[in-house]
Chain A
Amino acid sequence: MKSISLYVDRQSFLHRIDPISKIYYIVAAILVPILYPSLTVAFAVMVISLILLFLGKVIRQTLSVYGFVFLVLITVLIIQTLFYPGNETPVYRIGQVVLYREGFFYALTISFRVINIVTSFLILVFTTRSADLVESLVRKGLSPRFGYVIASVFQIVPEMMSAMGRITDAQRSRGMETEGKLSVRMKAFLPLIGPVVLSSLLNVKERALALEVRGFNAKGKKTFLNEEKNFLAPTAVQWSLLAVILIAIIWRIIQ
């Protein structure tokens, strides 16, 4: 069954950093550019995140995610350079079309911010097994029942995707059109999704019964199946990231 997780198995120091530290890094990478609103800072954070992705040996796998982001950012760049409300200084003229300086820099600010957020999350997503992430969160105090909810999505979605393939084939073999005009494709939606939804809700009932029988609602302290993994210096990494955030906040207040 196809996994939906984006995790890429590699040997790198990023893979050995604990998931919670990576969440700290996301907070830092988003907060610092907000506290220092300048293009240089945003650019610097972006470069650091990209270097980390490179060191994590996953940068090539992330390209597909960037594809969509870049597509939107290009339209942002075009639209803002032409129509940004604060546009004053024309830089370049192509016939009727005028390109403005303010809009261009505004679009650049947006682009750096978007790439920053996306990249810091990609560091977490591409170098962390989702099971490890959930387990770390539960160890940090997330309710184990919610831990189960998140972990089970990674199991249920691939199951539903294979059900989806089966049902599409079944409906096509009964003569249902899935290609052609928009109205034809619209009409196909309900007969396709209906059976998948129904079967998944029936599974919900069975799953609920199975969990109840196994003491899902039992009171008392839950234990872990696996020993806690040895991650690379979690406290040191977390404290230094916290320090970076704190320094940024203090600097901001003094300013």
Chain B
Amino acid sequence: MKRKSVWSFQFTTASLVLIPAAVGINYIGKLFAGVLKLPLWLDSIGTVLASMLAGPIIGAISGAINNIIYGLTMDPISFVYGITSVFIGLVAGVLAYKGWIGNWGKAVVAGLLVGLTAVIISTPLNVWFWGGQTGNFWGDALFAAVMANTHSLWLASFLDELVVDLVDKVLVVLVSYAIYKGLPHNILQLYTGDHHVESLDK
């Protein structure tokens, strides 16, 4: 059974407990990307999964708490980018609800949309905070090249964020979809059911 509306949600215990797990999954994604020396972040899988399971609001809260925890445990700059995570959760949740994360092809499009959202929110933050850079080697090399040729800080910053974020978010959504497909029914039930369980045994 589907939820009535995309924005209707309750803070059920199951969805509240999902939030720390989502943050943990984000953390693990980032760590694995580091262990495997992948040139990507892959640190929003948990947020996207939470959005797919429990809707955009829980996804957005997971994103916000994720960055608060990153800020408290890794680098304080994450606080600034909390707003990007919130929007990633919102957009992914709405797309999932509308059925846009329903097959591999659609998931790529959904990933592009999530990536574009992240770029649009992050670019002003990058410009305000870092003068336009992202701290990613390839992105910043492009940033310098565009700055030297066009003298447009915003274009350079936009492209800098775009090359890194778009690929990253497409992969994040694909990985989330792959995991989501493999989830057992008794987990999905926690979030899609109407919470009126009548039987005493499974």
Decide: A107 near B131, CB < 8 A? Known: A118-B77, A194-B182: yes
Q: How far is the CA of A71 from the CA of B134 in the complex (A)?
A: 12
Chain A residue nearest in CB terms to B150 = A85
B183 touches A198 (CB 8 A): yes
The answer, among B17, B18, B133, B153, for a CB contact under 8 Å with A211, is B17
Alpha-carbon distance between A161 and B27 when the two chains are bound, in angstroms: 9
* Chain A interface, DSSP helix/strand/loop, else mixed: helix
A83 interface residue per 8 A CB criterion: yes
**Residue B38 at the chain A interface, CB threshold 8 Å:** yes
Number of interface residues, chain B, beta carbon within 8 A: 61
Interfacial chain A residues near B19, Cβ < 8 Å: 149
Of A38-46, A202-210, A225-233, A240-248, the one contacting chain B is A202-210
B187 CB within 8 Å of chain A: yes
Contact (Cβ within 8 A) A190 B75: no
Residues of A within 8 A of B20 (CB): 149-150, 152-153, 155-156
A104 to chain B, nearest CB (A): 12
Q: Is the CB of A208 within 8 A of B13?
A: yes
A187-205, CB < 8 A from B: 188-190, 192-194, 196-198, 200-205
B76 touches A83 (CB 8 A): no
Which B residues between 15 and 38 are near A, CB-CB below 8 angstroms? 16-21, 23-25, 27-29, 31-33, 35-38
Query: Is the beta-carbon distance between B131 and A80 smaller than 8 angstroms?
Result: yes
The answer to whether the Cβ of B164 comes within 8 Å of any Cβ in the partner chain is no
Q: Identify which of A117, A133, A150, A157 contacts B24 (C-beta below 8 A).
A: A157
Task: Please choose the segment from B64-72, B90-98, B99-107 that sits at the chain A interface, where 4 or more of its residues have CB less than 8 A away.
Answer: B64-72
**Nearest CB in chain B: distance from A45 CB, A:** 15
Check B133 against A65 for contact (C-beta < 8 Å): no
Task: Check B193 for interface membership: any CB of A closer than 8 A.
Answer: no
Evaluate contact between B38 and A145: CB separation under 8 angstroms: no
Binary interface encoding of chain A residues 81-118 relative to chain B, with 1 for a CB under 8 A from any of its CBs, else 0: 01111000000000000000000001100100110011
8 Å CB contact of A68 from B25, B75, B178, B183 = B75
B72 nearest in chain A by CB position: A125
How many angstroms from the CA of A17 to the CA of B11 in the assembled complex? 33
User: Are A76 and B133 neighbours in the complex by a CB distance under 8 Å?
Assistant: yes
- The stretch that binds A, out of B81-89, B108-116, B141-149, is B141-149
Q: Are B131 and A75 in contact (CB under 8 A)?
A: no
Residues of A within 8 A of B187 (CB): 201-202, 204-205
* A211 & B129 in contact (Cβ 8 Å cutoff): no
Please name all residues of chain B whose beta carbon is closer than 8 Å to the beta carbon of A76 when the two chains form the complex: 130-131, 133
Is A203 a contact of B21 with CB atoms below 8 Å? yes
Instruction: Judge if A72 is at the interface, Cβ distance under 8 Å.
Output: yes
B130 & A110 in contact (Cβ 8 Å cutoff) = yes
User: Cβ of B119 < 8 Å from any Cβ of A?
Assistant: no
Partner of A194 from the list B14, B76, B179 (CB cut-off 8 Å) is B179
Q: Which of chain A's residues have a CB closer than 8 A to the CB of B14?
A: 204-205, 208
Pair B21/A156 contact, Cβ less than 8 Å: yes
Contacts of A161 in B (CB 8 A): 27-28, 31
Contact status of A193 and B29, CB under 8 A, knowing A65-B75, A153-B69: yes
Q: Does B57 make an interface contact (CB < 8 A)?
A: no
Contact B36 A72 (CB under 8 A): no
Residues of A within 8 A of B143 (CB): 79
